Chains A and B, each alone.
Chain A
């Protein structure tokens, strides 16, 4: 089933001599339950694409569908961005970006609350158990290892049962072994939860874990 479709996305910054074409006619499709890698050198437009797909920075042109519904047409969102993100998307960042004054459990529980998941406590326990973090539930972010923090971040991203999970270089801050473990986790989430996962990565050593990979270069996408 199609979770996300983007067609002919374009985005540019600046004008005249300083014009930068960050995205040029980018089209892609993510299926539910598939884990997809987005590769490319720095400055190739990966982050711009993730921001566009994540409804953080809208494209100048193109269209985006989520769950079969048109949500972006040209440079306009068809609905509240907050609501669309809450309903369709989950994010995992380069760093875990956990809220520093909340325990692991409360980080996830907050995401459940924001996502309107009822009851948030049960969903939190479910996710922490699924990601093998139940024993670390009450630990504060500073008490967690880098790998544990990223797992909590994944749990938080899944809290609202998103159809699409966008991960922007989620293993950049981890060593090779922990990085691979996190990638395996994404594959597991995609296959077991039916979530469409798009992971931005530089690490070609984990490509075997992905169902599909795209490569970006100079703002263009190559399958």
Chain B
């Protein structure tokens, strides 16, 4: 006869109510683990979807996602000329937040070179990939945009032509794909007043020089649309994605590019590690600390509940001892209840999580390994939590059974 089960069955309502509370705590622990998984997944999903063998970024930086990187667009064609490179693609990346309707639309705008991006469309759940050089976007479905939706950026109207699922940046923001030219257009967008002010500054600087004072006609060139230099330089790209024509030549390409003084070069695995160590490390530690605090809280709570239940059973335990019940049976009764509380609480957590996590703003990724690992931790926590109760139970004097 299992005494723990019999007692739980007798007071199932009270036990279930207590366990439900524990279950909610475990739900948060599970969410922490799932958010961490999601963080790692989100951080790497875009990187992996770009299928680069080698990443070329600004010299001395660890860009483009873990660090700010700025490369001149010419680097793309220079890299393409290196022996063994099948393809080199410039990439632009910026996180934008724009008003849309009553809320904000926040996303990472990734610019891909045209026309190569026509063949590189990530898996779509609706619509099509980018098929025109200008005015089209492929957005992640989590933004809530539909195919055909219009988005205003840089005083231009863009049309959403396709939707991806779970294509997120390391920040957790949904990714929107555009052609590199469109993305740079958005990046270079400045109010007309700012452009005019910059032109006026140039004229002022020219007037301050001997050349400007001696040849006032030069000032006219600044205003001539045919000669006018742009107010801003061509917006930079953040990285060049390199694909080797033979995987065996990746090392060779990397070595060649590493010799250049203006770039840093990373293999795909290194880039992924940089991203995880940089972007994910602090949130990971934060989540781990939260989870640890919650586990300690759960442990204290289960311990207090089990201890209180054991105190309630003092007389019963004394009777059992007087009857000669072995110590392991008495300890087992307390321990098994703690396990039952942990196991049921965890089952509630998994069930609640399955319903609630899909509605979380950040992705919560739970796989069987995570569920199993957190379950094992819950088992350990439940065992530790029961120790005080077990200790008390084993110290109950059987003589108390004789005392009325």
Q: Which residues of A contact B (CB under 8 A)?
A: 47, 50-51, 54, 56-57, 82-87, 89, 91, 93-95, 97, 99-102, 106, 109-111, 113-115, 140, 156, 160, 168
9-residue interface stretch from B151-159, B316-324, B383-391: B316-324
Binary contact readout B317-337 vs A (1 if CB under 8 angstroms, 0 otherwise): 001111111110100000000
- When chains A and B are docked, how far (Å) is the Cα of A102 from the Cα of B333? 14
Min CB gap A45→B, angstroms: 14
- When chains A and B are docked, how far (Å) is the Cα of A113 from the Cα of B322? 14
- Indicate if the CB atoms of B7 and A110 lie closer than 8 Å: no
Min CB gap A139→B, angstroms: 13
- Indicate if the CB atoms of B322 and A109 lie closer than 8 Å: no
- When chains A and B are docked, how far (Å) is the Cα of A56 from the Cα of B323? 11
- Indicate if the CB atoms of A93 and B324 lie closer than 8 Å: no
Say yes or no: A106-B325 contact (C-beta < 8 A), given A56-B402, A99-B316: no
Closest A-chain residue to B316, C-beta based? Answer: A99
Min CB gap A157→B, angstroms: 8
* B contact residues around A84 at 8 Å (CB): 324
Say yes or no: A113-B1 contact (C-beta < 8 A), given A51-B402, A57-B399, A99-B316: yes
- When chains A and B are docked, how far (Å) is the Cα of A91 from the Cα of B320? 11
- Indicate if the CB atoms of B401 and A97 lie closer than 8 Å: yes
- Indicate if the CB atoms of A114 and B323 lie closer than 8 Å: yes
Q: Does B293 contact A (CB under 8 A)?
A: no
- Indicate if the CB atoms of A56 and B398 lie closer than 8 Å: yes
- Indicate if the CB atoms of A99 and B319 lie closer than 8 Å: yes
Q: Does B245 contact A (CB under 8 A)?
A: no
Q: Does B11 contact A (CB under 8 A)?
A: yes
Q: Does B3 contact A (CB under 8 A)?
A: yes
Closest B-chain residue to A157, C-beta based? Answer: B323
Closest 9 CB pairs of A and B: A86-B324, A101-B10, A85-B324, A56-B399, A101-B7, A82-B324, A114-B325, A97-B319, A114-B323
- When chains A and B are docked, how far (Å) is the Cα of A222 from the Cα of B1? 44
* A contact residues around B329 at 8 Å (CB): 114
Q: Does B284 contact A (CB under 8 A)?
A: no
* B contact residues around A57 at 8 Å (CB): 399
Q: Does B404 contact A (CB under 8 A)?
A: yes
- Indicate if the CB atoms of B319 and A82 lie closer than 8 Å: no
Select which of A54, A83, A101 is within 8 A of B322 by beta carbon: A54
- Indicate if the CB atoms of A82 and B399 lie closer than 8 Å: no
In the assembled complex, 9 residue pairs joining A and B whose CB atoms fall closer than 8 Å, in A order, are: A54-B322, A86-B323, A91-B323, A99-B320, A100-B10, A114-B323, A114-B326, A115-B323, A160-B323
Q: Does B315 contact A (CB under 8 A)?
A: yes
Say yes or no: A51-B399 contact (C-beta < 8 A), given A85-B323, A97-B315, A114-B320: yes
* B contact residues around A83 at 8 Å (CB): 324
Which of A86, A95, A101 gathers the greatest number of chain B CB atoms within 10 Å?
A101
Binary contact readout B7-29 vs A (1 if CB under 8 angstroms, 0 otherwise): 10111000000000000000000
Q: Does B6 contact A (CB under 8 A)?
A: yes
- When chains A and B are docked, how far (Å) is the Cα of A131 from the Cα of B327? 30
* A contact residues around B402 at 8 Å (CB): 47, 50-51, 54, 56, 91, 93-94, 168
Q: Is the interface of B mostly helix, strand, loop or mixed?
A: helix
- Indicate if the CB atoms of B401 and A91 lie closer than 8 Å: yes
* A contact residues around B324 at 8 Å (CB): 82-87, 89, 114-115, 160
- Indicate if the CB atoms of A106 and B6 lie closer than 8 Å: yes
- When chains A and B are docked, how far (Å) is the Cα of A93 from the Cα of B3? 21
- When chains A and B are docked, how far (Å) is the Cα of A109 from the Cα of B1? 8
Closest A-chain residue to B398, C-beta based? Answer: A56
* A contact residues around B326 at 8 Å (CB): 82, 114
Min CB gap A17→B, angstroms: 25
Say yes or no: A111-B323 contact (C-beta < 8 A), given A100-B316, A101-B6: yes
- When chains A and B are docked, how far (Å) is the Cα of A151 from the Cα of B404? 17
* B contact residues around A95 at 8 Å (CB): 404
* Residues in B291-326 with C-beta less than 8 Å from chain A: 315-316, 319-326
Binary contact readout B146-178 vs A (1 if CB under 8 angstroms, 0 otherwise): 000000000000000000000000000000000
- Indicate if the CB atoms of A102 and B399 lie closer than 8 Å: no
Closest B-chain residue to A120, C-beta based? Answer: B1
- When chains A and B are docked, how far (Å) is the Cα of A99 from the Cα of B7? 10
* B contact residues around A82 at 8 Å (CB): 321, 324-327
- When chains A and B are docked, how far (Å) is the Cα of A86 from the Cα of B6? 22
Min CB gap A160→B, angstroms: 8
Closest B-chain residue to A91, C-beta based? Answer: B322
Which of B316, B322, B324, B326 gathers the greatest number of chain A CB atoms within 10 Å?
B324
Closest B-chain residue to A99, C-beta based? Answer: B316
- When chains A and B are docked, how far (Å) is the Cα of A178 from the Cα of B238? 94
Say yes or no: A110-B3 contact (C-beta < 8 A), given A82-B321, A91-B322: yes
Closest A-chain residue to B9, C-beta based? Answer: A101
Q: A82-B324, A114-B326, A160-B324 are in contact. List 16 more A-B contacts (CB 8 A).
A: A50-B402, A51-B399, A51-B402, A56-B399, A85-B323, A86-B323, A91-B401, A94-B404, A97-B315, A100-B316, A101-B9, A101-B11, A102-B6, A110-B1, A140-B10, A168-B402
- When chains A and B are docked, how far (Å) is the Cα of A32 from the Cα of B40? 76
* A contact residues around B323 at 8 Å (CB): 85-86, 91, 110-111, 114-115, 156, 160
* B contact residues around A85 at 8 Å (CB): 322-324
* Residues in B356-404 with C-beta less than 8 Å from chain A: 397-399, 401-402, 404
- When chains A and B are docked, how far (Å) is the Cα of A86 from the Cα of B401? 15
Min CB gap A106→B, angstroms: 6
Min CB gap B44→A, angstroms: 52
- When chains A and B are docked, how far (Å) is the Cα of A113 from the Cα of B325? 9
- When chains A and B are docked, how far (Å) is the Cα of A8 from the Cα of B362? 78
* A contact residues around B397 at 8 Å (CB): 56
- When chains A and B are docked, how far (Å) is the Cα of A217 from the Cα of B397? 26
* A contact residues around B319 at 8 Å (CB): 93, 97, 99
